[in-house]
Amino acid sequence: MQPSSAISSHSGGQQVSVLLPLPLAGAYDYRVPRGMAVRTGQFVAVPLGVRVVTGVVWGEARGGVDPAKLKEVLGTREAPGLSRDMLRFIDWVAAYTLSPPGAVLKMAMSVPKALEPPKPVTAYAPAPISSAPASVSGTEIRQIRQIRQIRQIRMTPARRRVLEVAAEGPPLILADLARKAAVGTSVVKGLARAGALIPVQVAAPPPHPLPRWQTEGVSLSAAQETAAAQLVRAVDRGGFGVTLLDGVPGSGKTEVYFQAIARVLEQGRQALVLLPEIALSAQWLERFRGRFGVEPAQWHSDLTGARRRATWRAVTEGQATVVVGARSALFLPYPDLGLIVVDEEHDAAYKQEDGVIYNARDMAVVRARIGEFSLIAVSATPSLETLTNVKEGRYQSLHLPDRHGGATLPDLQTIDMREDKPASGHWLSGALGTAVEETLSRGEQALLFLNRRGYAPLTLCRACGHRLQCPRCTAWLVQHRRAGRLLCHHCGHGAAVPTHCPQCQAEDSFAACGPGVERLAEEVSELFPGARTTIAASDTVAGPAAAAALVKRIEDHEVDLIIGTQIVAKGYHFPLLTLVGVVDGDLGLTGGDLRAAERTYQLLYQVAGRAGREQSREQRAGRVLVQTYMPGHPVMAALTSGNRDQFLEAEAQARRDAGMPPFGRLAALIVSSRDRAAAEKVARNLAATAPHGPHVQVLGPAPAPLSLLRGRHRLRLLIKAGRGTNMQKVLGQWVGQRAGGARLPGGVRLQVDVDPYSFL
């Protein structure tokens, strides 16, 4: 815990500044009434106009307001306050992203209800039996109970799993019961309605048991041991430092960083593990449980309100010692954080694209520097940013060159689609079809990777060529046949497929163009009618419970063929999966994205890593086939040769020559409005006042590739600067108070995106 002496105290009658979780310019001064004591970091209730708002004591009063006019702090909140480090972190992130500090504070205060003492919550227990015979044993009671239930209600495998889990231990809250049984919460609710489960009030969600750091992990190989020892030493030494843990998939990176977590726990401090997509982390949680005996606290957007409240509270009380979470977990109020692990550090999912626009990997480094502790960045395909930091000596680096247990990396080959062309309306080449067939006939599993949800990315009228477009975005509507709808992947707009073309009135004239996973599934079922196929995309596998259930079905070999988007690319380990077919290797290479090549390389490498991860039998060697129209592209060359360094060197050279990140600085301004003329006017004004100098260049304004999004017209300006330039200062002088999503006249909004990842 942070020593309380680190927190200055303001006795009654004094004035303090209080930051509110609102997008205001800064903290406001308040008077502390006599008899009340407040500390920096403490949560306090203050008046704001006619409202009462909870904010945080940010420090001494700023002054400048007549003390007689200051309003009084109304009261203190009972929760522990924010640490000094947290306050500094919030200020830092606000300054870096040009956001109002209150908007950043809002991310740290995402659960206002957690500031109230915990309330009782509803948990579920199996329904009691009214008249069990006196002589039966506990097991028999359970069996009778289940028989009764089976007779009375419609039983499904999901319902049976829930009843089994409920019979095992103490009553569980809805979310936990559903998660443990790997079902949706509606299954539990259905059982409760049917009377097979009864609701009971329990004190609060149970506290997080301390992970058992004392237990030994797996016995590490020599290379793993060396890496683990270095990470542990860094924790012991204390102080800020970043280490890149760079190793091929399956080399044991997770086992290695578990050692560092164990040491932090031994020191009695907290650890945070960031994962790009926590919804898909079922196997990671399993590994953690295997190593530490308990589940860590989890933090992501799919938690219930009660769980959110309890977890926030457990973190701020220091009671939750290990948190695994998505990027927002970085803003939880840890009183004593001692380590951050950023797993899959290269992943673009760490970039938050709206509200406060930040990269959680980069901000995690800032958090570690402020807190003076270690950060471990983990990846098989590190970002150019991180590798450059290693090269220039700012970060340490550890390398795990081999797969654990001597398993070899899968053999990767490209299929030249110019030569092995599928028939029109089909997407699998002969070579890939044959490979799938061979794999299935051996009783192994195959993954066909296509990073496109739905049936077809474009629907057009055969008669007049009219394309079905989202009315609110510059984007085609994607056909989703399962849902029977057309959907916009940018704004969620949905519509039925029209019976007549809106342009030429032709009837039933629409043709689907291009493949999505659903369409691929159709082709596969023609080719391999006997194969058990599943589609794994974010709309078919929604949420952690569904993901866990899917993982289990694949592990239990209830599935032969997986057709998946990027949600299956990351981290999973399926022993029987020996073939990965990339249906469109070129998909990510088009478009004006600075990182298109790097990202495609990372994604394809990751998905290739799903093949043949276990070589318990010789024939389980993995195979990866990438369909491409550009077999000579440097990304394909790097993937087939396995020469990552050569590719990265070329990529780095190109960026260096262009003065692009990480060798130069970049920020984007996005001006948007429902009123196109108003947006254009603001953008033009910005361009007219743009900074210029030898190391600063402003490009634009130009209509954004997504020039219409959610009904707003968008223009972009790009500012490019040398590495030595203080981008925040330049931006601040240029756009100043207009930044931070502030609304300008005419409903114009200006967003500042420092270190942009999206160029749409």
Q: Which residues bind ligand ADP (CB under 6 A)?
A: 218-221, 224, 247, 249-255, 404, 573
- Close Cβ partners of 308 (under 8 Å, ≥ 6 residues apart): 110, 111, 114
Please report how close the Cβ of residue 144 comes to ligand ADP at its closest, in angstroms.
Answer: 40
Please report how close the Cβ of residue 644 comes to ligand ADP at its closest, in angstroms.
Answer: 15
Which residue's CB is nearer to ligand ADP, number 274 or number 440?
274
Q: What is the C-alpha to C-alpha distance for residues 375 and 307, in angstroms, rounded to an integer?
A: 27
Tokens 């903290």 belong to residue: 27
* 76-101 exposure pattern, b = at least 16 Cβ within 10 A, e = fewer: bbebbbbbbbbbebbbbbbebbbbbb
Q: What is the C-alpha to C-alpha distance for residues 304 and 285, in angstroms, rounded to an integer?
A: 18
Please report how close the Cβ of residue 330 comes to ligand ADP at its closest, in angstroms.
Answer: 21
Helix, strand or coil, per DSSP, at residue 584: coil
Compute the CA torsion angle 327, 399, 265, 312 (nearest 10 deg): 0
Which residue's CB is nearer to ligand ADP, number 58 or number 572?
572
- Close Cβ partners of 95 (under 8 Å, ≥ 6 residues apart): 728
Q: Select the binding partner of residue 750 from ligand ADP, Zn ion, none (C-beta < 5 to 8 A, by kind).
A: none
Q: Select the binding partner of residue 253 from ligand ADP, Zn ion, none (C-beta < 5 to 8 A, by kind).
A: ligand ADP
DSSP 202: E
Please report how close the Cβ of residue 588 comes to Zn ion at its closest, in angstroms.
Answer: 21
Please report how close the Cβ of residue 610 comes to ligand ADP at its closest, in angstroms.
Answer: 11
User: Applying CB under 5 A, which of residues 472, 485, 532, 695 lies at the interface with Zn ion?
Assistant: 472
Q: Select the binding partner of residue 491 from Zn ion, ligand ADP, none (C-beta < 5 to 8 A, by kind).
A: Zn ion
Which residue's CB is nearer to ligand ADP, number 289 or number 656?
289
Q: Select the binding partner of residue 472 from ligand ADP, Zn ion, none (C-beta < 5 to 8 A, by kind).
A: Zn ion
Decide if 579 contacts 625 (C-beta within 8 A). Answer: yes
Site string for Zn ion, 424-463 (x = CB under 5 A): ----------------------------------------
Which residue's CB is nearer to Zn ion, number 491 or number 739?
491
Q: What is the C-alpha to C-alpha distance for residues 464 and 456, in angstroms, rounded to an integer?
A: 19
Q: Select the binding partner of residue 426 from ligand ADP, Zn ion, none (C-beta < 5 to 8 A, by kind).
A: none
Q: Select the binding partner of residue 628 from ligand ADP, Zn ion, none (C-beta < 5 to 8 A, by kind).
A: none
Q: What is the C-alpha to C-alpha distance for residues 719 and 696, in angstroms, rounded to an integer?
A: 7
Which residue's CB is nearer to ligand ADP, number 90 or number 551?
551
Q: Is 473 in the site for Zn ion (CB under 5 A)?
A: yes
Which residue's CB is nearer to ligand ADP, number 83 or number 224?
224
Q: Select the binding partner of residue 250 from Zn ion, ligand ADP, none (C-beta < 5 to 8 A, by kind).
A: ligand ADP
Please report how close the Cβ of residue 206 comes to ligand ADP at its closest, in angstroms.
Answer: 28
Q: Is 708 in the site for Zn ion (CB under 5 A)?
A: no
- Residue 281: HSE in the Cβ half-sphere, 13 Å Cα cutoff: 26
Q: What is the CA radius of gyration of the chain?
A: 28
Please report how close the Cβ of residue 276 comes to ligand ADP at its closest, in angstroms.
Answer: 14
Q: What is the C-alpha to C-alpha distance for residues 666 and 383, in angstroms, rounded to an integer?
A: 16
Taking phi over 0 as left and psi of -120 to 50 as alpha, with beta for the rest, 736 belongs to left
Decide if 477 contacts 487 (C-beta within 8 A). Answer: yes
DSSP 307: H
Question: Which 301-320 positions form the footprint of Zn ion (CB under 5 A)?
Answer: none
Which residue's CB is nearer to ligand ADP, number 95 or number 229?
229
Which residue's CB is nearer to Zn ion, number 279 or number 491?
491
Please report how close the Cβ of residue 326 comes to ligand ADP at its closest, in angstroms.
Answer: 18
- Close Cβ partners of 84 (under 8 Å, ≥ 6 residues apart): 2, 6, 7, 40, 41
Q: Which of 587, 589, 592 lies closest to 759, judged by CA?
A: 592
Question: Which 475-494 positions form the footprint of Zn ion (CB under 5 A)?
Answer: 488, 490-491, 493
Which residue's CB is nearer to ligand ADP, number 249 or number 544?
249
Question: Which 264-283 positions form the footprint of Zn ion (CB under 5 A)?
Answer: none
Q: Select the binding partner of residue 73 from ligand ADP, Zn ion, none (C-beta < 5 to 8 A, by kind).
A: none
Q: Where does this chain touch Zn ion (CB under 5 A) — which range of 101-109, 209-217, 473-481, 615-623?
A: 473-481
Please report how close the Cβ of residue 217 comes to ligand ADP at its closest, in angstroms.
Answer: 8
Q: What is the C-alpha to C-alpha distance for residues 136 and 130, in angstroms, rounded to an integer?
A: 14
Decide if 108 contacts 363 (C-beta within 8 A). Answer: no
Please report how close the Cβ of residue 576 comes to ligand ADP at its closest, in angstroms.
Answer: 14
Q: Select the binding partner of residue 251 from ligand ADP, Zn ion, none (C-beta < 5 to 8 A, by kind).
A: ligand ADP
- Close Cβ partners of 94 (under 8 Å, ≥ 6 residues apart): 100, 101, 103, 104, 356
User: Applying CB under 5 A, which of residues 470, 541, 589, 671 lies at the interface with Zn ion?
Assistant: 470
- Residue 648: HSE in the Cβ half-sphere, 13 Å Cα cutoff: 15
Going by DSSP bridges, is the β-strand pair 623-628/411-416 parallel, antiparallel, or unpaired? parallel
Q: Select the binding partner of residue 695 from ligand ADP, Zn ion, none (C-beta < 5 to 8 A, by kind).
A: none
Q: Select the binding partner of residue 440 from ligand ADP, Zn ion, none (C-beta < 5 to 8 A, by kind).
A: none
Q: Is 716 in the site for Zn ion (CB under 5 A)?
A: no
Q: What is the C-alpha to C-alpha distance for residues 659 and 475, in angstroms, rounded to an integer?
A: 31
Q: Residues in the site for Zn ion, rule: CB under 5 A?
A: 470, 472-473, 488, 490-491, 493
